[in-house]
Amino acid sequence: MADVLVLHHAQGQTPGFLAFADALRAAGHTVHTPDLYDGESFATLDEGMAKARSVGFDRLQEQGVAAAEGLPDDLVYAGFSLGVMAAQRLAQTRPGARGAVLLDSAIPLGEFAPGWPAGVPVQVHGGEADEFFMDEGDVDAARAIVAAAPDGELFTYPGCGHLFADASTTAYDPQAAGLVQQRVLGFLARL
């Protein structure tokens, strides 16, 4: 079983985000879900992005990185959208990373370290109708990451928008979300 740090998206710890984490727990994994918004969550992405801007993206990234302090070194780092910043940074720079799961986002290689670390497998999931993922360079960053990773996988989901795996968002797609969950659980089982 894996020890997993899951970082939330701009809308916070929504019921759908927490349900995703609970599904990993139900499969026997130890899951940590730090709340970077101190209990606040938002019904829309616009509201969540306003909160993220007010806190500051750099500060949120630092809080996400700090959430790993005191946890085992051999964590799997997972992030939804905004949470990918810290999850990917930790996977690339914190010694002992066991793996990474990046949902709805990917940061270009070189942002946190020159390349992807040897021995750290990664899965990236993104919606094909997600303008953030497909049109703002994330899919290109994801392709570069999986090409550089020892065990890298990129999955895209037709017709899915941003945060489609979170049951509490307007973009939620139950079939695609189920496939994401199945693939993530398979990934964790292989580690």
Q: Are 90 and 101 in contact (CB under 8 A)?
A: no
Please tell me the distance from the alpha carbon of residue 72 to that of residue 104, in angstroms, as a whole number: 26
DSSP string, 104-126: S--PPTTSSSSSPPTT--EEEEE
Residue 25 banded pLDDT, cuts 50, 70, 90: very high
Q: Residue 142: which domain range?
A: 3-190
In this prediction the pTM is: 0.98
Q: Quote the pLDDT of residue 173.
A: 98
Count structural domains, the chain: 1
Q: What are phi and psi of 121, to 5 degrees?
A: -70, 155
Residue 110, pLDDT score: 95
Rounded alpha-carbon distances, angstroms, from residue 182 to 1, 40, 72, 83, 135: 15, 29, 25, 20, 26
Using an 8 Å Cβ cutoff, are 132 and 10 in contact?
A: no
Each residue of 68-121: pLDDT tens digit? 999 999 999 999 999 999 999 999 999 999 999 999 999 999 999 999 999 999
Which own/partner contact pairs does 95-102 have at CB distance under 8 Å and 24+ positions apart?
A: 96/72, 97/73, 98/2, 98/3, 98/74, 98/191, 99/2, 99/123, 99/187, 99/188, 99/191, 100/76, 101/76, 101/77, 101/125, 101/184, 101/187, 102/78, 102/142, 102/145
User: Which has the closest alpha carbon to 95: 126, 74, 121?
Assistant: 74
Which residues lie below 8 Å from residue 163, measured CB to CB, with a gap of 6+? 9, 11, 45, 80, 81, 104, 169, 171, 172
Residue 7 has pLDDT above 90, yes or no: yes
The pLDDT tens digits of the residues spanning 119-165 come to: 999 999 999 999 999 999 999 999 999 999 989 999 999 999 999 99
Output the pLDDT for position 150: 85
Assign residue 34 the CATH number of its domain.
3.40.50.1820
Give the pLDDT confidence score for residue 100 in this predicted structure. Answer: 98
Instruction: Give Cα separations from 45 to 12, 168, 171 (angstroms).
Output: 10, 11, 10
Alpha-carbon span 73 to 185, nearest angstrom: 20
What pLDDT is stored for residue 31 in this prediction?
98
SS3 22: helix
